[in-house]
Every structure is written in structure tokens, then in C-alpha cells.
Amino acid sequence: MDEKIAHYNGLYGDDKALVRHDYLQSELILPRNRLTDWGLKPHLHPNLFQLFFLEAGRAIFHAAATPIELRTPCIVLIPAGAVHGFTFSPQVQGRTLTLAENLMDTILQATPAVLLEVNTLQILADFNAEVRFADLLALEQNIHTELHLDQPGKQLALNAYFKLLFLKIYRLLHHQQRQEADSSNRALHYFREFQRAIGAAPSGKKIAEFAQELKITPVHLNRICQAVKGKTAQQIVHANTTRKAHNYLIYTSLSVSEIAYALQFADAGYFTRFFRKQTGLSPGAYRAKAYRNEGAVARTL
């Protein structure tokens, strides 16, 4: 671990706190930010789990080489030992909930699957009708109220609120995972349909036309191609055309003009310019080189 990263046993700036197994704190973000120039420099808490409930305002999360601009409302889950920092705008509104890692283990000891899922670095910004941000914030506020009152059955109430809070977060994470899986499946479906369309398309067909047939936007089609193949839609179309041209040049005796016609280019000159741009060689030079290489191999046998 980089020695410049500060370690705090308690809340930010408190390196002398004695954290017991039942350590629990709930507070507004705003007052502390004024004291720290609206930011928390990258640091970690060896034994504390934190939740940042950001209701409004701008915030930037620092946990890796590239800062992440957060979309509010959102919740940031920070497990013990995870390096994190924030830059907040003066208009930021929110709350933090901090508890000892041992207390979290105790609360969720009967549900290890939930503990494993929520005890990870997460940014939750996509809520739904079943798990709304307002519902999760209300649970944090219930915990805050219960924490600062001395009512009978206080610990039982706190445990109940925490279990419900973590359960809702667990369900939200699973919902997001299902959505990602569905999105991935849809992307593969569109990509396969795009590949089929390329096979039957004339060489000059535009990406916008492919996208229109798939009933998606060109931007969406490009994102799918980047996700599946790491290439733009146009690069995939060009690679397919080049592959077809290679087969014609190597495995048939068709002339360059005939190949251009077969691939539905406007003319042989256009085909030649396209092929040279993709391979660095004219179709004739490409064919001649392939024949020379084939002859050289034959002479060695």
C-alpha cells in the first residue's frame, strides 16, 4: 500500500479512535465537508464499512487512477480497507453511515450470501420501483434516529433496520446483474443479426441503413460492436468485404473488374482504392504476392 494513503481507525481525520466491535456512526455529509474544504483525500479505514448516501449536488469519487463523476442520487458502498476519497460541490446533500466490520458480520451472520454481495466497493445509481433511493435513505434516517435515542429494544431495532437496508441493497445488486446479463444477451443478438445482414449487403451500404433494419440507432450499433469485437461497425463491415475479396482473389480466376462487380462496388477503381486502403496492396499485387508465396512453398516440398 502506498505510504501516502492515510489510515484512519475512526472517521476521516481520526487516527486515534478505538473502534469496538459495535462501533456505529451516522451523520450529515455537509458539516464535515465545510471543515475539510469540501473534499476527503484518498484514505482507508482498516476495520470500518461505510455507506455514502448522496441525495443531490455534484460529487467525484476517487478510488482508482481515473476519478468517477457520480450521478446523484446514488449510494456508494465502501468495504473496510478500500482506498477512497471524494470531491464534493458546496451544494452536496447527503448522509454517511459507518459501522465496524465486526458489527456488519454479526448483523448478517445468518445470511453470508448477502454479506458477501454487499461487502464490496459499489456505486448504486440505478434504482427501481421495488428499491427506491428514498426507501434506502429513509432506513438510514431510521438508523440515525434510533442511534441517538435511548428507547427500549434499541439494539433489536437497529439490527432490524440494518438487515432490511442490506437486504434491499442486495436485491438491487441482483436486479442490476440481471439487467446486465439481459443487455449482454441483447447485444449478442443484435451483433449476430448485423453479421447476417453484412453477408447479404452491397459494399456501399451505410451503417445507418444496417441500424435502421435492426431498429436501433447507429450509435447503439457501434457500442454493440465495440463491446463484442472491440471494433466499430464500419471496421467490421470493411473486414468482411476484405475477407470476401481475399477469397475471390486467391481461390478464383475472376478479374479485378469481375470481383468488383461480384462485391457490388460501383466500379473497379473504387474497389481497388478500397482494397489498397485495407491491405496496403492493390488487388493485382495482392494476388501476385499470394501466388509467389504459394510457389515458394511448393518448391520446398
Residue by residue, pLDDT tens for the chain (301 residues) are 444 788 888 888 877 777 888 899 999 987 455 555 577 888 899 999 999 999 999 999 998 777 899 999 999 999 999 999 999 988 899 999 999 999 999 999 999 999 999 999 999 999 999 999 999 999 999 999 999 998 999 999 999 999 999 999 999 998 888 777 767 778 888 898 998 898 878 777 899 999 999 998 999 999 999 988 899 999 999 998 998 899 899 888 899 999 999 888 888 999 999 999 999 999 999 988 877 765 554 444 4
Give alpha helix (H) positions in the chain: 29-35, 101-107, 112-118, 133-147, 154-200, 207-214, 218-229, 233-251, 256-262, 268-279, 283-300
Question: What pLDDT score does 299 carry?
Answer: 47
Q: How wide is the angle at C-alpha 63 spanned by C-alphas 61 and 64, nearest 5°?
A: 120
Least Cα distance to 49 among 103, 9, 99 occurs for: 99
**What is the structure's pLDDT at 295?**
55
For residue 142, the model assigns a pLDDT of 97
The pTM (predicted TM-score) of the whole model is 0.63
Residue from 140, 133, 134 nearest 74 by CA = 133
**What does the pLDDT read at residue 300?**
46
162: Cα separation from own chain's centroid: 27
Phi, psi of 254 (to 5 degrees): -60, 145
Lookup: cell for 167:
437486504
